[in-house]
């Protein structure tokens, strides 16, 4: 764990700092899992798997009708005008966040199209990638350098936050203070053997500067998902109470 604490200073309700990745095969499965999780989760990330299942906005509207917060994680990446048009379709949907992947022109177009309430999150480096993967993609740098470079550009271009591993979050806070929201996926309470490579646990993520964490499989695959989510919520409450 980083010795210095970069604990978030933003006015965010503690129970909203946990975002559950609702990655399931159908809207029916999603609704069943949300009902099972009950009051243990307030904020949901709805991504590509449910998008490809069809009736994407049905599940988004269903969540919003139940006073849940929604994060649209579709990582928009296309020519700037197309991305701007896609983002503009979300402005009046009531969702909190949308992810955008791409160069300066794409991020700028998304930021200009977001409206008053939607927040644009720039994807920096996926937590499933390590330095070897970046070299395969043609990037001759380590993940921290690339994350910091992309985050600085995202801030200048009008983005509200970034998706960043907890390993790189301290560098973001040291360089950019708390100007950007930092949303950290790849949370693993224990050692993992899945496709996530740059992982941290709940306390490391928040001490390193995350404003929100995204957790999926550790909750979804638990024997009791509600209890698993509540355990994380209790950890988050303790971390912010301790300061």
Annotated catalytic residues are 75
Instruction: Look at the block and give the residue holding tokens 């906005």.
Output: 57
DSSP label of 19? E
Cβ atoms of 157 and 111 closer than 8 Å: yes
Closest CA to 220 of 44, 64, 96, 95: 44
Cβ atoms of 226 and 38 closer than 8 Å: yes
Distance CA 90, CA 95 (A): 7
Report residue 240 as tokens. 């912010």
């Amino acid at each position: 764990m980083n010795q210095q604490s970069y604990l978030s200073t933003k006015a965010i309700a503690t129970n909203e700092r946990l975002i559950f990745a609702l990655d399931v095969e159908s809207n029916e499965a999603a609704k069943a899992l949300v009902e099972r999780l009950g009051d243990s989760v307030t904020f949901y990330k709805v991504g590509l798997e449910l998008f490809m299942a069809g009736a994407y906005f049905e599940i988004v509207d269903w969540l919003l009708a139940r006073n849940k917060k929604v994060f649209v994680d579709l990582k928009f990446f296309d020519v700037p005008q197309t991305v701007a048009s896609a983002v503009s379709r979300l402005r009046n949907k009531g969702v909190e966040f949308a992810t955008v992947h791409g160069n300066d022109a794409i991020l700028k177009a998304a930021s200009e199209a977001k409206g008053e309430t939607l927040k644009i999150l720039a994807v920096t480096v996926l937590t499933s990638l390590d330095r070897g993967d970046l070299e395969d993609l043609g990037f001759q740098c380590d993940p921290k350098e690339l994350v910091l470079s992309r985050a600085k550009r995202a801030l200048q271009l009008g983005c509200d936050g970034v998706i960043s591993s907890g390993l790189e979050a301290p560098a973001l806070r040291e360089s950019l203070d708390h100007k950007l929201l930092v949303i950290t996926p790849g949370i693993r309470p224990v050692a993992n053997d899945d496709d996530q490579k740059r992982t941290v646990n709940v306390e490391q993520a928040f001490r390193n500067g995350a404003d929100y964490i995204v957790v999926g499989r550790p909750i979804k695959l638990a024997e009791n998902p509600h209890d698993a989510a509540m355990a994380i919520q209790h950890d988050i409450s303790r971390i912010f109470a301790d300061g």
